[in-house]
A and B are shown apart, each in its own frame.
Chain A
Amino acid sequence: MTLTLYVEDAQDRGGAGTPLLQAKALTKHFPLGGGAVVRAVDGVDFSVLKGETLGVVGESGCGKSTTARVVMQLIPQDKGELLFDGEAVGTRALSLKDYRRQAQMVFQDSYASLNPRLTIEDSVAFGPTVHGVPKAAAIERARELLAKVGLDPARFAARYPHELSGGQRQRVNIARALALGPRLVILDEAVSALDKSVEAQVLNLLADLREEFGLTYVFISHDLNVVRFISDRVMVMYLGEVVEIGPVEDLYDDPRHPYTRALLSAMPSMDPDNRTMEAPLAGDPPNPINPPEGCRFHPRCPHAQTVCAKVKPALVATSDAEGARRVACHMEIAGSGHSRAPALESAA
């Protein structure tokens, strides 16, 4: 079954070499009053290549959801730039309305994301009608999409959200996200609320849809197993900053940032003869209101030295892995002043 795309400018404009999405020094602060500021996203740089899935991991308060909301332009950034297929989002080259046809989002709470007073076919058809598709055509396409996500339209199309299970509702949200023929789909903890057996079904569905529609995903999750399964590359965030980004297997097999290492070794063991003996970190993740100076991880880092408390490490390419891996750690920066940093010559 082929589906007609209603978005006329969905063709690849920038060419295969241009990332689909580039975030440059993205910053979003929330003032709390009294001078306090939540530095939710603080100078985040990353790109998402065409057709890949970028996993984003980190603990609560690390800024992963705020990053997603800024990327969707649900909230405007304070600073920084967002390029979609080489064009700045929200300018004359690419208006917000045109951008939002091509970038869609699926949220964690499947129930809160749907209008309880619309049938699910009306919910899925809503976006296209806003963008000028005639109602009858939009409904027809909605029913095709419901079939695609595994909900038989004859049985489900006329139901209301409360008549569906959580897994079924999340399928509706996925169908709705696809209704405008987007190129980028942001999945913010989209499978986290589902039971394990249902989660596996939805992950399989997401993999199928990515293949069929040539989608690019940004997949945000706290579940490291799920991220490993679905992602091509993974970005690790801590207190509003990117600490490490790289190809999924490299990053899981050989994490370079001490925080990435801690996060991975905090995963429960699946081997009863080899249980976790020691927690990798003590205490809770700190509050992003007054993040530490220098490297934000240094108060919890087992390798912290004087330089770490003073100088903020840049996100730099590591010497190996053809520069695909970038790490923000003084131990990776030649001549940083950390005793474990590589010598200056070898970095040249």
Chain B
Amino acid sequence: MSTSSSTPLVAMENVTVRFRGAQTVHAVNGVSLTLEPGKVLGILGESGSGKSVTLKTLLRLLPESRTDIGGKVMVDGRDVLAMNAAELSAYRGAVTSMIFQDPALALDPVYTVGQQIAESITRHEKISAKAAMARALELLELVRIPSPERRLKAYPHEMSGGMRQRAMIALALAARPKLLLADEPTTALDATVQIQILLLLRQLQRDLGMGVIFVTHDIGVAVEVSDRLAVMYAGQIVETGTVRELLRNPQHPYTKGLLAANLHGAKKGERLEAIPGAPPALNEPPSSCSFAPRCRYAEPACGTALPPALSLGDARTVRCIRAEAGLQPA
């Protein structure tokens, strides 16, 4: 974890994402994060916090004509924002790939699962169609799909939700990426299936030594898979730290509120410590703390300037002026 170790797999520096349209939306407002090879970062946030947009920036999946991306995005030593079309298509899948919430939309309905995986292998490697199909079979075994030979020839609609999710993971791993991006991959699944997929991802990450960025709104899910967590609010990372530190000693009032609202251990009859109000509209870039209007600890200074990302040592940061003044809320 020291700075002298090898170059990070992912380094985002002051990334901003703005969507142009009838109304400009400032979706991501100065995100900086790093991920070491073979580590798992969980990004926790509510809808509109910018977590999925941040993830898509790493693959340049946002519509180019309507999106302005600022800052620097380095993955495995490559400048993602500077890539041309050919470089981008060589990069996608082989260095970085992604899994999504809805596998029914991510898989092509008119090709079998085997054809889709084999295509993605031959796209990146000079290999015969037969060898690619054999690799596809290995991948289905890797993600523990029952009767993989049969499933190779199955179309996505012939599979259950959990099995489709496994097939999508196999597809994402086809070209042996170094970085896997996961955008709420278990949110649509039933509880008993969700835990199976989380354990599978954890196992694959360890066995293949991949870096993973896992976006979720569910703290429990983030805890199951992550080494470190970043909490996002209104397009900014408000707090980062190891899972342990963040859960035991949250510093940002929003992180505290989110933990309290998650109901783990909440007993019947107690009042929930709900965060009042709703997240801000992102029509303007933030000029002061975005959370201040909902924050019970807000003071006049919170409304005057953007709080800096303060380092609390060992890759732990928090964007709150109270942390700076040492006035950590009890």
Q: Give B158 Cβ to nearest chain A Cβ, in Å.
A: 13
| Residue pair A267, B220 in contact (C-beta under 8 Å) | yes
* Contact code string B183-197 (vs A, CB < 8 Å = 1, else 0): 000000011111110
Q: Give A206 Cβ to nearest chain B Cβ, in Å.
A: 11
Number of A interface residues, CB 8 Å?
A: 47
Report how far A147 CA is from B24 CA in the complex, Å.
33
A117 close to chain B: CB less than 8 A: no
Report how far A282 CA is from B160 CA in the complex, Å.
13
Please indicate the chain A residues that have their CB under 8 angstroms from the CB of B266 in the complex: 225, 228-229
B324 close to chain A: CB less than 8 A: no
A276 close to chain B: CB less than 8 A: yes
Most B-side CB within 10 Å, residue of A60, A249, A279: A279
Report how far A268 CA is from B46 CA in the complex, Å.
18
With A196-B217, A200-B261 known as contacts, the answer to whether A269 contacts B196 (CB < 8 A) is: no
Chain A residues numbered 251-283 whose CB sits less than 8 Å from any CB in chain B: 262-263, 266-273, 275-283
| Residue pair A225, B263 in contact (C-beta under 8 Å) | yes
Query: Which 5 pairs show the lowest CB-CB distances between chains A and B?
Result: A268-B220, A200-B274, A59-B190, A195-B46, A200-B261
With A201-B276, A272-B223 known as contacts, the answer to whether A229 contacts B193 (CB < 8 A) is: no
| Residue pair B268, A231 in contact (C-beta under 8 Å) | yes
| Residue pair B268, A200 in contact (C-beta under 8 Å) | no
* Contact code string B251-264 (vs A, CB < 8 Å = 1, else 0): 00000011011111
Please indicate the chain A residues that have their CB under 8 angstroms from the CB of B271 in the complex: 204, 207
Main secondary structure of the interface of A (DSSP, over half): loop
| Residue pair A229, B195 in contact (C-beta under 8 Å) | no
Please indicate the chain B residues that have their CB under 8 angstroms from the CB of A268 in the complex: 194-195, 198, 218, 220-221, 223-224
A90 close to chain B: CB less than 8 A: no
A residues neighboring B (CB under 8 Å): 59-60, 165, 167-168, 195-201, 203-204, 207, 222, 224-226, 228-232, 248-249, 262-263, 266-273, 275-285
Report how far A275 CA is from B46 CA in the complex, Å.
23
With A197-B274, A283-B162 known as contacts, the answer to whether A230 contacts B268 (CB < 8 A) is: yes
| Residue pair A263, B192 in contact (C-beta under 8 Å) | yes
Report how far A277 CA is from B224 CA in the complex, Å.
10
Chain A, residue nearest B233 (CB)? A197
| Residue pair B191, A224 in contact (C-beta under 8 Å) | yes
| Residue pair A273, B244 in contact (C-beta under 8 Å) | yes
Please indicate the chain A residues that have their CB under 8 angstroms from the CB of B301 in the complex: none
Chain B, residue nearest A150 (CB)? B276
Chain A, residue nearest B224 (CB)? A268
- Of the residues A230, A269, A281, A283, contact of B223 by C-beta under 8 Å: A269
| Residue pair B224, A269 in contact (C-beta under 8 Å) | yes
Q: Give A253 Cβ to nearest chain B Cβ, in Å.
A: 12
| Residue pair B224, A284 in contact (C-beta under 8 Å) | no
B83 close to chain A: CB less than 8 A: no
Report how far A273 CA is from B47 CA in the complex, Å.
28
- Of the residues B160, B163, B242, B247, contact of A270 by C-beta under 8 Å: B247
Report how far A273 CA is from B219 CA in the complex, Å.
15
Chain B, residue nearest A248 (CB)? B268
B86 close to chain A: CB less than 8 A: no
| Residue pair A201, B274 in contact (C-beta under 8 Å) | yes
| Residue pair B272, A229 in contact (C-beta under 8 Å) | yes
Please indicate the chain B residues that have their CB under 8 angstroms from the CB of A228 in the complex: 263, 266, 268
| Residue pair A196, B198 in contact (C-beta under 8 Å) | no
| Residue pair A203, B272 in contact (C-beta under 8 Å) | yes
- Of the residues B163, B220, B261, B262, contact of A284 by C-beta under 8 Å: B163
| Residue pair B268, A197 in contact (C-beta under 8 Å) | no
Please indicate the chain B residues that have their CB under 8 angstroms from the CB of A230 in the complex: 268
Report how far A230 CA is from B273 CA in the complex, Å.
14
Report how far A204 CA is from B71 CA in the complex, Å.
41
Please indicate the chain B residues that have their CB under 8 angstroms from the CB of A165 in the complex: 278
Report how far A231 CA is from B243 CA in the complex, Å.
30
- Of the residues B224, B242, B247, B272, contact of A200 by C-beta under 8 Å: B272
Report how far A31 CA is from B244 CA in the complex, Å.
51
Chain B residues numbered 270-284 whose CB sits less than 8 Å from any CB in chain A: 270-276, 278-279
| Residue pair B162, A200 in contact (C-beta under 8 Å) | no
| Residue pair A269, B220 in contact (C-beta under 8 Å) | yes
Report how far A249 CA is from B219 CA in the complex, Å.
23
* Contact code string B125-161 (vs A, CB < 8 Å = 1, else 0): 0000000000000000000001000000000000011
| Residue pair B275, A263 in contact (C-beta under 8 Å) | no
| Residue pair A263, B191 in contact (C-beta under 8 Å) | yes
| Residue pair B160, A284 in contact (C-beta under 8 Å) | yes
Report how far A195 CA is from B163 CA in the complex, Å.
27
Additional pairs, 10, CB under 8 Å, beyond known A266-B192, A279-B192: A60-B190, A198-B274, A199-B261, A226-B263, A268-B221, A269-B224, A272-B243, A279-B195, A283-B160, A284-B160
A-B contact pairs, 27 of them (CB 8 A): A165-B278, A168-B278, A195-B279, A196-B46, A196-B217, A196-B262, A198-B274, A201-B275, A201-B276, A224-B191, A225-B262, A229-B268, A249-B268, A263-B192, A267-B191, A267-B220, A271-B247, A272-B242, A279-B192, A279-B196, A280-B192, A281-B192, A283-B146, A283-B162, A284-B160, A284-B163, A284-B193
